[in-house]
Amino acid sequence: MPIALYALTAGAFGIGVTEFVIMGLLLEVSADLGVSIAAAGLLISGYALGVVVGAPLMTTFTARWPRKTVLLALMVIFTLGNAACALAPSYGTLMAARILTAFAHGTFFGVGSVVATSLVPADRKASAIAIMFTGLTIANIVGVPFGTWLGQQLGWRATFWAVTIVGIAALAIIAAFVPKDEAAPEASDWRADLKAMAQRPVLLGLLTTVLGFAGVFAIFTYIAPILTKVTGLAETSVSPILLMFGGGLIVGNLIGGKLADKYLVPTVIGSMLVLTVVLGLMTFAIHDGIAATIFVFLLGAAGFATVPPLQMWVLERASGAGQSLASSLNIAAFNLGNALGAWAGGATIDYGPGLTAIPLVAMIMPIGALAIAFWSLRLDRREAALKAATVGPALGS
């Protein structure tokens, strides 16, 4: 794999730390800014909303820019946004800075996916995407625990200063190693791109992503209270177990990428089936410490095994036109799934049977994703058959 892919991985690492580290610093932020823990938690939702809104806007705005220029500009936004977070004097300005930073997220991964696939042969495209997303998984294993520890020792602002430094380093690495575009991007009509995104195959691909990943975050968002209140583990055990989750992310991401290179559609379906089974079995596993630990690893592996095939599937269904926008929208779809899953898990706690039922509720979502995927494939076959039936007589005449 070319070194430029690992430059993209560096950027993905920084973005991953920014997105997730706030989960470990809610107490520090709420105490320092004088807001409730629930209000501090909205900083996570605000970031997700920034990704969902920013992905199409930034991708459309930069559509005619060289892709390397786009990546560099996004890393500048990311770096300045984190510096603004570190300097934020109030809750409102911190929220605004988080949303600003999130505007870089979707388009970076979207354009980065397109750049990654352009650097390798056709049979390694999904693996290239997986390598870039490895930065996100390493962020969960190394960056988030270290950022949490740093924030607890020196204050939450120190964490955002550290991520700012990561952003500067990633900017330099991308500038040095990502090649310049061989040709200027073709003139892009944003109306035509949006029209292409509104096509049924792309929309169903995006919906599959939303529902599939919602199942992961329905349970991961509340994994700490599940482990302590249901499994009965000590709070000090949570961080080491979450490292198991991070290890699963790396394993699943790389396996999903390699399988998707050879068997894209079977990998999309198979990864969703595995995720469904893992979530279902977690209903029983969370009552035993050893089993829960094993299944936290399996949750990470099964969850991220879906990422490269889903990203590649949406890219292919966009069929050339507006691929950067389709790729960015799929990143937004992952984040929308995060928000949907967190909401579903919270509703299960507040209005439903409680923590023990979250795995079953989570399992419903990839089942829905499977139903959408099968329906989409059936419609694809029907359209192909109608096209063949139409073209055949025309050729004969």
Q: Quote the percentage of the chain above a pLDDT of 70.
A: 89
Look at the chain and report how many structural domains it folds into.
2
- pLDDT value, residue 21: 80
For residues 14 and 161, membership in a common domain is answered with yes
Do 32 and 160 share a structural domain? yes
Whether residue 163 is found in the same domain as residue 196 = no
pLDDT at 1: 64
What's the confidence (pLDDT) of residue 81? 93
pLDDT in tens, 343-376: 788 788 778 788 889 899 999 999 999 999 899 8
Whether residue 326 is predicted with pLDDT greater than 90 in this model: the reply is no
174, 192: one domain? no
pLDDT category at 198 given cuts 50, 70, 90 is low
* Mean pLDDT estimate for the chain: 82
Residue 254's CATH number: 1.20.1250.20
Q: Are residues 162 and 192 in the same domain?
A: no
**Average pLDDT for 305-311:** 83
Confirm whether pTM is higher than 0.85: no
Q: Quote the pLDDT of residue 196.
A: 63
Of 131, 150, 178, the one marking the end of a domain is 178
Lowest-confidence region among 101-110, 234-243, 244-253: 234-243
> Are residues 141 and 215 both part of a single domain?
no
Indicate if 241 and 377 belong to the same structural domain: yes
Mean pLDDT computed over 193-220 = 80
- Pair 167, 203 in one domain: no
381 and 286 within one domain: yes
Question: Lowest-confidence range among 79-93, 136-150, 163-177, 268-282?
Answer: 136-150
Total Cβ atoms within 10 A of residue 12: 24
Among candidate residues 143, 178, 213, the one where a domain is terminated: 178
Residue finishing a domain among 150, 178, 206: 178
- Examine the domain organization and report whether 157 and 210 are in the same domain: no
Check residue 264 and give its pLDDT. Answer: 84
Range of the domain at 194: 188-386
Q: In this predicted model, which residue has the larger pLDDT, 213 or 96? A: 96
